[in-house]
Amino acid sequence: MDLSAHHTFGLPSQCSDWVELRSLAQVRAAIAVMEQPPLILGEGSNSIFLTDCDQPVWHIALPGIDVLGADTDFHYIRVGAGVNWHAWVEWSLHHGYPGLENLALIPGSVGACPVQNIGAYGLEVDQRLHSVCYVDIKNGQSFELMAADCGFGYRDSRFKQDLAGRALITAVTFRLPRLWQPMMAYRDVAMMFDALPTSPWQVFDAVVDIRTRKLPDPWVHGNAGSFFKNPIVSGAQAQVLTQGHPAVPMYPQANGYFKVAAGWLIDQCGLKGYRVGDAGVSPVQALVLMNLGRATASDLRTLIAHVQDQVMDRFGIALEPEPNLYGA
């Protein structure tokens, strides 16, 4: 199987064992005959194959959207892990269940949304989750983990920690508020409105518009979204950083730490548009690295190292890649 079409960065890569899982029965059957731990793949928008893959790749394609019911405050809706994220957001609005509009146009599958606790424009998905259903690949047992037990953090969860490579997420149950309120704290969204929006579709359209202008379409120009995590620094480090660079965008976190905008750091190093072979820094959003045509793994590795070195030299901050780099 050619993996270049199964990860949005689109580097050339092959795998010899590709399995498509469309039902719980197929998941159980695959586990029963498993000889080697699989690599679990949704739509590959947060995964980059730098080499050929010698593990079996299990592509999660479980369908289904089921409205489970409601209580006084929330609607509960279970969605199959293989459903496309943006299609689900659109479905929820069309059927009168708002609450996910700030997360419109994020590529990928529903099954991957809890893994890095996807977030954008002031909303993280854990704020809208009830629970996550998964099968433990080690023993075939099924579990439903409540959101409070998923260890959600900033772009983090137990599915990246102790449950990594073990939990195969089969469905996600959302908890959407019956009383809709627009989430307007994020500057780019707020700037699109003169008055508070009265419909979630207005927020949805605004987010789609902002994203379309700022981010390269991964199906046109290969990319994996934000390539580096926004570094979280201590209060003391933040003070040193602001003394040297008063304009640095920083956002206070709950624990006295600060989140630094990695894209700004890269931009300050003059790297917008910088390229190594066919791998380049987006000329519009410095946090996005792109495949400008026929990028190789070597182009991308050299580019990553260059960006990291420049930011380290100038700011003393180590940037860590956000996507999963297979074969690194």
Residue 170 or 230 with smaller CB distance to ligand NAP? 230
Q: How far is the CB of 119 from ligand NAP (least distance, A)?
A: 6
Residue tagged 């965008």 (tokens): 249
User: What are the CA-CA distances from residue 163 to residues 34, 55, 114, 160, 232 (Å)?
Assistant: 18, 18, 12, 7, 23
Distance from CA of residue 19 to its chain's centroid?
23
CA distance 227 to 320: 8
Question: Is residue 21 a contact point for ligand FAD (CB under 6 A)?
Answer: no
Question: Is residue 29 a contact point for ligand NAP (CB under 6 A)?
Answer: no
x/- site string to ligand FAD, residues 98 to 137, per CB under 6 A?
A: --------xxxx-xxx-xx-xxx-----------------
Q: Contacting ligand NAP (CB under 6 A), which of 100, 263, 266, 280?
A: 263
User: How wide is the angle at C-alpha 55 spanned by C-alphas 54 and 61, nearest 5°?
Assistant: 130
- The phi and psi torsions of 62 (rounded to 5 degrees) equal -70, 125
In the list ligand NAP, ligand FAD, none, the entry touching 240 (Cβ below 5 to 8 angstroms by class) is none
Q: How far is the CB of 226 from ligand NAP (least distance, A)?
A: 4
Q: Contacting ligand NAP (CB under 6 A), which of 226, 282, 291, 324?
A: 226
Rule CB under 6 A: which of 93-122 touch ligand NAP? Answer: 119-121
x/- site string to ligand FAD, residues 146 to 185, per CB under 6 A?
A: -------------x-------xxx----------------
Question: Is residue 80 a contact point for ligand FAD (CB under 6 A)?
Answer: no
- In this structure, is the dihedral angle defined by the CA atoms of residues 138, 143, 149 and 150, taken in order, positive or negative? positive
Residue tagged 């629970």 (tokens): 131
In the list ligand NAP, ligand FAD, none, the entry touching 44 (Cβ below 5 to 8 angstroms by class) is ligand FAD
User: How wide is the angle at C-alpha 140 spanned by C-alphas 137 and 143, nearest 5°?
Assistant: 90
In the list ligand FAD, ligand NAP, none, the entry touching 41 (Cβ below 5 to 8 angstroms by class) is ligand FAD
Strand partners, 245: none
Q: Which of 23, 144, 155, 211 is catalytic?
A: 155
**112 class by beta-carbon count within 10 Å (0-12 exposed, 13-18 middle, 19+ buried):** buried
Q: How far is the CB of 9 from ligand NAP (least distance, A)?
A: 12
- In this structure, is the dihedral angle defined by the CA atoms of residues 90, 94, 98 and 101, taken in order, positive or negative? positive
Q: How far is the CB of 103 from ligand NAP (least distance, A)?
A: 9
R_g (Cα) of the chain, nearest Å: 20
Q: Name the strands in the sheet holding 167-177, side by side, starting at the edge strand that comes first in the sequence.
A: 65-70, 74-80, 167-177, 129-136, 142-146
- The phi and psi torsions of 305 (rounded to 5 degrees) equal -65, -40
Q: Is 322 part of the annotated catalytic residue set?
A: yes
How many chain residues interact with ligand NAP (CB under 6 A)? 19
Residue type, 96: G
Q: Which of 92, 131, 226, 282 is catalytic?
A: 226
Q: Contacting ligand NAP (CB under 6 A), which of 188, 205, 267, 278?
A: 188
Residue 41 or 266 with smaller CB distance to ligand FAD? 41
Q: Is 155 part of the annotated catalytic residue set?
A: yes
Phi-psi region of 127 (alpha: psi -120 to 50; beta: other; left: phi over 0): alpha
Question: Is residue 267 a contact point for ligand NAP (CB under 6 A)?
Answer: no
Q: Known catalytic residues?
A: 155, 226, 322
> What residue ranges bind ligand NAP (CB under 6 A)?
119-121, 185-188, 214-215, 225-226, 230, 249, 251, 261, 263, 285, 287, 322
